[in-house]
Structure 1
Amino acid sequence: MTRPNILILMVDQLNGTLFPDGPADWLHAPNLKRLAARSTRFANAYTASPLCAPGRASFMSGQLPSRTGVYDNAAEFRSDIPTYAHHLRRAGYYTCLSGKMHFVGPDQLHGFEERLTTDIYPADFGWTPDYRKPGERIDWWYHNMGSVTGAGVAEITNQMEYDDEVAYHAKAKLYDLARGKDDRPWCVTVSFTHPHDPYVARRKYWDLYEDCEHLLPQVGDLGYDNHDPHAKRIFDANDWRNFDITEEDIRKSRRAYFANISYLDDKLGEILEVLETTRQEAIILFVSDHGDMLGERGLWFKMNFYEGSARVPLMVAAPGMEPGRIDTPVSTIDVTPTLGELAGVDMAEIAPWTDGTSLVSLANGTERTAPVLMEYAAEASYAPLVSMRYGKWKYNRCALDPDQLFDLDADPHEMTNLADHPDHQGTVQSLRAKSQARWDLDRFDAEVRASQARRWVVYEALRQGGYYPWDYQPLQKASERYMRNHMNLDNLEESQRFPRGE
């Protein structure tokens, strides 16, 4: 059979509420809007865990953090966990990554045959939280509100430098694939770090939002004492007391965030143009690892189950998937089985290794009633939190906190917790039973604590004496690039040209 090429476009910390049906009308994102018009658009897609490394490991494997063991941004992603890159490569695909995937541990490929860049974040255990010390801030790596108070304009940053490189290598690889030296189908994953904070943007994109009407959140700061217990823990982890956040800070942060969506749109447009001009056909999937609260309720970044943090954009342009909007809740863990089905991989080979379900039939009208599951056991938590999105309901549970129940149809901003409301006790009891059947929170907590304790020992040991980091070092074979003396010049010029000459 002929297997389709696959292009995965991933971004970081993009709030899914800004993609109610593709990009919101007021966003300057023409390339994403064109992609949306030919895609199945999942309006209620959720991350498996609202933090980078756990969310990405779940996205790649189709498994929740409680199965992968990737609980936080310093937890090892084990080499024996199959990913979509493994499944596709096993089926004969060339698999390649340009950009971020926040792999922690000595395996920095996880099924990718080639990786074109290093990662933007460290690959070791240095960012490990410690449940034995609740409330302790680790100043040198915990988020603080400096990303908000420092928002503004710059022409180059660490993040821009990285994403410029990611796009450059992705385009070069697509040009190379067009030359036809490898007859295998390909799966290329291009993964950017924007619009993740810091909230700093180039002037050309900043200026697009000068008159934007969305520079203030719809729900302002509720005040520390009016937040739920986990939100208070996030405020404390973000060191909020040492920052004076003004309305102008909020406006500038959101403006830069929107500007960076437009920056990404340009990058994605460049990549899609290469695909078009080289006449390569491919399935295209666009997704984020998690969202960003963007000041809603006074919260920033992620680390919670509120819509701004947990909901992500997810769009798939593929033969056999009807373009249009799907409102049924889905998860990023559904991506791996979806890619498998689209690629013609035997789903029995994937099913044992995933918690997800293929989205292909859902795109064509099949109903789905299974709940969407989320977990969080990382920074700002003192014990694991779990969540279910079941129809219009979202039910959150943590051993340390009161239950939460939200009716997202009637209360999209999650302002009213119905868990103690007498009219909803049947719903609470039903969802609590489903949650308890799925999660043993005491066991989950014990496993997280054991993992953290092991990593603290190993990290401190490995930083003594000679240090050999796991950060990925991209391979460059200079003797095989451009023109070298073991190559025939005429053959080289012909083979490197696309389209071929007369």
Structure 2
Amino acid sequence: MPSPPGSQDRQRPNILLVMFDQMAALALPDYGHPLVRTPHLSRLAARGTLFERAYCASPLCSPSRFAMLTGLLPSRVGAYDNASELPSGIPTLMHHLRAAGYRTCLSGKMDFTGADQLHGYEERLTTDLSPSDFGWVPDWDHPDEIQPWYHTLQSVAEAGPCDYSLSLQYDEEATFKAIQWLHKAKASADPRPFMLTLSVMQPHDPYQGLRRFWNLYDDDSIDMPILPALQAAMRDPVGRRMYALYDRGEIPIGEAEIRRARRAYYAMVSYCDELLGRLLAALAALGLDRNTILVVTSDHGDMLGERGLWYKMNFFDGAVRVPLILQGPGVGTGQRIAEPVSHLDLLPTLLALGGSDAALAAMALDGRDLSESVASGARPQGDVLGEYMAEGYDHPIVMIRRGTRKFVYSRGEPTQLYDLAADPREERNLALNPAHKDAVRNLTDEAERRWDLEGLRKDVIESQRRRRLIHQALTAGRISPWDYEPRADVSNEYYRNYGRDQPDPDRSLRLPPAP
């Protein structure tokens, strides 16, 4: 239950989670990129703890987000694809924090599908950018059929500067409402600490860079992919699958288009950094910066043309390696942690940092509590796991990231094994080398023990069939959308004449306070 006024809640840290969409760690200066400019992220990293090798649990939006919010692998919550429904009976980070006395709020996107559009959030300030129905269900019964909602390379071909866009409109609204909420929360009589999530669309494709950030870069300085695209027939199995999924040679892409897409992406990353800067400025102006844990991450990365690949949907580091930076109470300063960690670790870590981890011992989570690492730089131990069960394939694909090695396995694909210390670009698949056959066999046996891959494939297909049927039914006749409709009580906004003892709304929000 929430603590009563006068309790110690004001001393418990607030939590501000900032999520970008499709922001690759490898495209950020604090992860080694020599060109991209993110001054606010860099200052945050210098004052906090940066995880150099953080991984999402699935290289796709909804499965990644649901895994992060629950601390459970996507297969354990049925998060197979971007039209999956997170079951209401599975606790999220917000449920735990709210039960422990936190006020929880979401501004922006979280890709919730289905009737439950809150999943533990007490308040939600915007609708989602993506549809909340079952229209984007893949079809493993007919895996070679191209669905109308699949990615294409149109966003690469049309990349460039913009003065206005749908994602810009959405991100401006979500950021403004988050800052507005912070001001109201500070002025509120509610004694509870808060957990506020701001989740924006950029730098997700389409690659449309706001012009003033586009002008930070020039074509000649844009770095091109290190590993160029090969002819379709010469690509590795992953490349051939992605070619069949969103390329197929239908939209010719040359050096000029690649350069413009990467320039637009970098501009979008710099725009995201400015949004973060606005939040940081609001926290400081309100005096909330000293008692707020900031967490910055992304749901997955973007291949940005490496190997001829774009977007995500594979287990190369460009797609699954994400930024993860924490700063605030209980977080060490200027720390860089090199060991692999996972989004799955965020739930137990934030509960521990927020002093709300009493229930963790009874939870069978797939993530680890990294609060000791965050506080002191202690080296975390353990494997990082990943799964993919969506479009472009017809069998589950799993990843085991252990030490310096990454193992990727599927019954429907050739096995991959990379030593990222010796081969950070993942150019040499050790699974093709007879000298590593014992290691491959042992890891294959382990993957088969960890996952019931045949049973999982059946579950995925049955889920797809059910959801396609439901979508067909619910789009016939009168439609009752699940898309979230933000609620606004205008009777409590601005100047009103209801009640004799209402405080002056200007005086409660004014900064600095009226003398």
TM-score interval for Structure 1 and Structure 2 normalised by the shorter chain: over 0.9
| Equivalent in the alignment of 1:317 | 327
Aligned equivalents of 2:468 and 2:323: distance in 1? Answer: 35
For the pair 1:331 / 2:346, whether they are aligned, the reply is no
Partner of 1:496: 509
1:342-357 matches, cutoff 5 A = 342-349=353-360, 352-357=363-368
Partner of 2:305: 295
TM-score, normalised via structure 2 length: 0.94
Q: 2:231 aligned to 223, 231, 234, which one?
A: 223
Do residues 273 (structure 1) and 281 (structure 2) align? Answer: yes
Q: Distance in 1 between matches of 2:498 and 2:117?
A: 32
- Aligned mates of 1:491, 1:21 — CA distance in 2: 45
Out of 15, 23, 27, the residue aligned to residue 6 of structure 1 is 15
CA separation in 2, counterparts of 1:297 and 1:397?
20
Once the 2 structures are TM-superposed, how far is the Cα of residue 349 of structure 1 from its aligned partner?
A: 3.5
Equivalent position SS for 2:386: strand
Q: Which residue of 1 aligns with 2:240?
A: 232
Tell me, in whole angstroms, the C-alpha distance in 2 between the residues paired with 1:492 and 1:171. Answer: 17
1:196 aligns with 204
Rounded Cα–Cα distance in structure 2 between residues aligned with 1:40 and 1:24: 18
CA contact (8 A) 2:219 2:259 kept: no
Does the CA-based 8 Å contact 1:179-1:497 persist in structure 2? no
Q: How does 1:303-452 map to 2 (within 5 A)?
A: 303-323=313-333, 324-349=335-360, 352-363=363-374, 364-452=376-464
Query: Offset of 1:347 from its aligned partner?
Result: 4.5
Bigger shift: 430-439 or 326-335? 430-439
CA contact (8 A) 1:22 1:33 kept: no
Could you say what secondary structure the match of 1:111 adopts?
coil
Q: Shift of residue 382 of structure 1?
A: 1.2
List alignment gaps of at least 5 residues for structure 1.
none
Q: 1:258 aligns with which of 258, 266, 271?
A: 266
CA distance in 1, matches of 2:77, 2:118: 16
Q: 1:421 to 1:23 in 2, by over 3 A?
A: closer
| 1:134 CA drift (Å) | 1.4
RMSD: 1.6
Whole-angstrom CA distance in 1 between matches of 2:362 and 2:511: 40
Query: What is the CA–CA distance in structure 1 between the aligned matches of 2:78 and 2:263, rounded to whole Å?
Result: 36
> Alpha-carbon deviation of 1:212?
6.0
Q: Which moved more, 1:327-336 or 1:412-421?
A: 412-421
Give the SS at the match of 1:322.
coil
The 10-residue stretch of structure 1 (363-372 or 288-297) with the greater mean CA deviation from structure 2:
363-372
Residue correspondences, number: 501
Shift of 1:486: 0.9
CA distance in 2, matches of 1:376, 1:203: 35
1:272-308: per-residue Cα shift (whole Å, max 9, x none)? Answer: 1000011113000000000000000000000000010
Counterpart for residue 144 of structure 1: 152
Q: CA deviation at 1:421?
A: 1.4
Cα displacement (A) at 1:491? 3.7
Give the aligned partner of residue 5 of structure 2: none
How much does 1:29 deviate?
1.1
Give the whole-Å Cα distance in 2 for the aligned partners of 1:491 and 1:242.
61
CA offset digits 1:64-103 (Å, max 9, x no partner): 1110101100011111111111110000000000001000
The 5-angstrom pairing of residues 52-63 of structure 1 reads: 52-63=61-72
- What is the rounded CA distance, in whole Å, between the counterparts of 1:240 and 1:161 in structure 2? 32
Equivalent-residue separation in structure 2 for 1:91 and 1:76 (angstroms): 25
Q: Which residue of 1 aligns with 2:48?
A: 39
Distance 1:274 1:350, change over 3 A: farther
Q: Secondary structure at the match of 2:215?
A: helix
| Contact 1:371–1:388 under 8 Å retained in 2 | yes
Matching residue's letter, 2:44: L
Kept after mapping to 1: 8 A contact 2:348/2:360: no
Alpha carbons of 1:272 and 1:491: their partners in 2 closer, same or farther (altered >3 Å)?
same
490 and 393 in structure 1: CA distance in 2 versus 1, 3 angstrom threshold: closer
Over 3 Å counting, the alpha-carbon distance change for 1:212 and 1:270 in structure 2 is farther
Q: 1:411 is aligned with what amino acid? A: D
Does the 8 Å CA contact 1:38/1:317 hold for their aligned counterparts?
yes
**Shift in CA distance, 350/149, structure 1 to aligned 2, threshold 3 Å:** farther
The percentage of counterpart residues that share the same residue type is 45
Whole-Å separation in 2 of the counterparts to 1:104 and 1:173: 25
Aligned to 2:171: 163
Query: In the TM superposition, what whole-angstrom CA distance separates every residue of 1:346-373 from its partner, at most 9, and x where no partner exists?
Result: 3544651521001112232434331100
Match of 1:181 in 2: 189
Would you say the 8 A contact 2:292–2:329 is kept in 1?
no
Change (3 A) 1:216 1:398: same
Q: What is the deviation of 1:376?
A: 0.2
**Counterpart residue identity of residue 421, structure 2:** D
Give the structure 2 partner of residue 111 of structure 1: 120
Deviates more, 1:16-25 or 1:176-185: 16-25
432-441 or 87-96: bigger deviation = 432-441
Opposite residue 243 of structure 1, the aligned amino acid is: I
| Alignment correspondent of 2:256 | 248
Q: Is this contact kept in 2: 1:340–1:346, CA < 8 A?
A: yes
| 289-298 vs 319-328, greater mean Cα deviation | 319-328
| Superposition deviation, residue 224 in structure 1 | 1.4
Distance 1:286 1:210, change over 3 A: same
CA–CA separation in structure 2 for the residues paired with 1:39 and 1:22: 15
Most deviating of 396-405 and 248-257? 396-405
TM-score calculated relative to the size of structure 1: 0.97
**Runs of 5+ unmatched residues, structure 2:** 1-7
Q: 1:435, CA displacement in angstroms?
A: 1.5
